Amino acid sequence: MEKKVFKTENIKFKCKIPEIPLTRKELKNLLNYRIPCLCCGMEMLHPDIYSQLLDIKELSGPASEAIHILAPFEKIMHPVERQVFNMFKSMSAKYPDKNFKELLEMKRDIHELALVKIQSIIFNKISFYRRILPKKSARQLRKLMIKTNDIIFDPEPHKPFSRRIFIHKLKNILKNIENKKLKEEIIEIARRLPRSSDEVCAFVVKNSRKKSNIIALNLVHPSVGTFEHLLPKCMNGMNNSLNFALECSYCNNSRHHYPISVQIEENPYMPQNTQIQADKLISLCKKGLCKKEYITNLKHVLQTLSDGIISLDISKLSEIT
């Protein structure tokens, strides 16, 4: 797997508040109050509740039993996971003795065809640009597309197709192209490739080879609240609440070590969602459940690391004595 290298000189910052505003326990406790994710805005699940689900053996059993256990979390499931959950509810009425894995295997073929169809259309659009790219870049793009097609048309590939790796390799091919508009146009097409988080067919294909209890956990795992390092640890980011934000597991894992600017590219509504979370934190601050210093520091760090794209309005904090 190729590593993505970023220049870090533009994202170094000094925190205005040297004291740690919240302990890990205090920050984690905020997840008891329906905190929305910093990135996607979805309500998050407290990690202790998810930990309890890990020990429930019934999630490996018949779908009807697993559905009963997961039903209380349906409202906070991400959209695709909720659609799959509803599909399980419908199928379990007809096949009460089958578990989640068996039900997905029944749906795999049709969803795999749907997924490959969507991917193929997008790959064909990208391949078209070989006609107008410089010869070297066109040859590199051709090689990438051949390898990619070999993966998606193989029923049992050695390694499954990775959308993120594909886009990363595509960016490397285009990095020396002077026409910025052309580069952005091609990358934008690539970003339309389906993810398991936004297409049911991708979820079914990705999870159909997994154990039944893992499939069940994957329906709620994206919603689990986590501590996101605003400045990644690999870039010397601190490991405390001066550098922590509350983010769902899906958004946290999707970001990896990439800068916030890349995360915003993938999630255009992130600036609005950060404001929604800030408003929620301010409301908790009024109740004495959060500290003003944490919110003030969050504003400063987000604004610095996003180069001003994210600028939180925390003026209501001044009303709190």
Indicate whether 132 and 185 sit together in one domain: yes
- Rounded average pLDDT over 179-200: 91
Is 6 a domain residue? no
Which of 223, 245, 272 is at the close of a domain? Answer: 223
- Tokens (6 digits) for 117: 């169809």
Instruction: Check whether residue 36 and residue 125 sit in a common domain.
Output: no
Domain shared by 203 and 233, yes or no: no
Q: Same structural domain for residues 60 and 205?
A: yes
Indicate if the pLDDT at residue 7 is higher than 50. Answer: no
| Half-sphere exposure for 309 (CA within 13 Å, toward CB) | 18
- Three state DSSP letters for the chain: CCCCCCCCCCCCCCCCCCCCCCCHHHHHHHHHHCCECCCCCCECECHHHHHHHHCCHHHHCCHHHHHHHHHHHHHHCCHHHHHHHHHHHHHHHHCCCCCHHHHHHHHHHHHHHHHHHHHHHHHHHHHHHHHCCCHHHHHHHHHHHHHHHHHHCCCCCCCCCCHHHHHHHHHHHHCCCCCHHHHHHHHHHHCCCCCCCCCHHHHHHHHCCCCHHHHHHHHHHHHEEEEEECCCHHHCCCCCCCCEEEEEHHHHHHHCCCCHHHHHHHCCCHHHHHHHHHHHHHHHHHCCCCCHHHHHHHHHHHHHHCCCCCCCCCHHHHHCC
The answer, yes or no, to whether residue 17 has pLDDT greater than 80, is no
- Position 15 confidence tier, pLDDT thresholds 50, 70, 90: very low
Which of 223, 255, 279 corresponds to the end of one domain?
Answer: 223
Judge whether 178 lies within some domain.
yes
Asked if the structure places residue 235 within a domain, the reply is yes
- What domain range includes position 300? 24-44+225-319
Of 171, 205, 223, which one is at a domain's C-terminal end?
223
- Residue 12: inside a domain: no
Q: What percent of the chain has pLDDT over 70?
A: 94
Query: In the predicted model, is pLDDT for residue 5 greater than 70?
Result: no
| pLDDT for position 234 | 84
In this structure, of 48-57, 207-216, 230-239, 297-306, the range with the lowest mean pLDDT score is 230-239
What's the pLDDT tens digit per position in 242-288? 999 999 999 998 887 888 988 998 899 999 999 999 999 999 999 99
Domain count, the chain: 2
pLDDT class of 320 with cuts at 50, 70, 90:
confident
- pLDDT for the residue numbered 12: 47
Residue 137 maps to a domain:
yes
Q: What is the pLDDT of residue 255?
A: 86
Residue 13 lies in a domain: no
As a whole number of angstroms, the distance between CA 11 and CA 312 comes to: 18
Mean residue pLDDT across the chain: 91
* 77-127: pLDDT as tens digits: 999 999 999 999 999 999 989 999 999 999 999 999 999 999 999 999 999
Verify that 71 and 31 share a domain, yes or no. Answer: no
User: Are residues 94 and 208 located together in one domain of the fold?
Assistant: yes
Q: Are residues 281 and 310 in the same domain?
A: yes
Residue 17 lies in a domain: no
Cβ-contact 239, 21 below 8 angstroms: no
Same domain, yes or no: 276 and 196: no
Handedness of CA 178, 182, 188, 190 (dihedral sign): negative
Domain identity same for 138 and 275? no
**Domain assignment present for 8:** no
In this prediction the pTM is 0.79
